[in-house]
Amino acid sequence: MLKAIITFILNFFLLTVLFGQSLTIYTIPPPKPLNWKSPHHLLTSLGKNYMAKKPRQYPRREIGHVFVEIIDHGDSLYTSITSVDDECFEDVVVKKKGMAVLFKRYAGGHENPEEIKREINKRSEDGRIAFIRFLINDSAVVHLHHFIDSFQLLGYDKIYGGMNDPRKGKGAGCSS
C-alpha cells in the first residue's frame, strides 16, 4: 500500500512537471467553524470569528478564504480578491445588520501575489490550508488568463460581496 501511495505521489508531481500547466485551488478554514444551523447561529459564529485572536503570521479569515494558483510552464500566477476595508466587520459586529450583509457590495481588490505565496507557505507549515490541483491543457490556461484579464478590465475585481455573479459585475467572493 505504501509503495502504491509513493508511486502515485511521484507520478502526480512528475506529470505536473512534464505537463507544465496546473490549476490549484487553496482553501483556508475560518478561525472557528461556522454554524449553519440557523441564520442566528451563523451570524453568532461569524461574530465569534471576527472577534477571534488574529494570528501573527497571516491574516485572520473570518469566513474562510480561497486562493487560486495557475502554473503555465513554470510561470506561477497567484490570485484572490477580498474586501479592502473593515466596512463588512463594522456592519456585522458594530451595526449588527445581520444577514443583509451577505448581499451588500463592498469595495474589493486583488491580494498581492507575494503575500498570497507567503501565506500559503506559512499556513502549510501549521496545517491550516488544504488544496486540490488539476492538470490542465494550453486552452484551459488561455481561458483562465482571458477570464482574469476581462474581470480586471471591466473593474469587477473592485467589487466584493453582493449578489455573487462575477461574470455580470454583481459582486464576487474570493473564489472568483
- Give yes or no for residue 93 having a pLDDT over 90: no
pLDDT at position 5 is 67
Choose between 20 and 102: higher pLDDT.
20
Q: What is the pLDDT of residue 91?
A: 74
Q: Strand 130-135 vs strand 21-28: parallel, antiparallel, or unpaired?
A: antiparallel
- Give residue 76's domain range: 2-168
In the chain, the number of structural domains is 1
Q: Would 175 be classed as within a structural domain?
A: no
pLDDT digits (tens, 9 = 90+) for 5-58: 666 665 656 555 556 899 999 999 998 898 989 878 887 888 788 777 777 777
Residue 176 in any domain: the answer is no
Closest CA to 105 of 26, 47, 23, 171: 171
Query: Which pTM was predicted?
Result: 0.80
Whether residue 127 is contained in a domain is answered as yes
Residue 141 lies in a domain: yes
- Arithmetic mean of pLDDT over the chain: 82
Domain membership flag for residue 173: no
pLDDT, tens digit, 9 for 90 and up, residues 113-159: 999 999 999 999 988 899 999 999 999 999 999 999 998 898 888 88
At 142 the pLDDT is: 95
- On whether residue 150 sits in a domain, the answer given is yes
Read off φ and ψ for residue 36, nearest 5 degrees. -90, 15
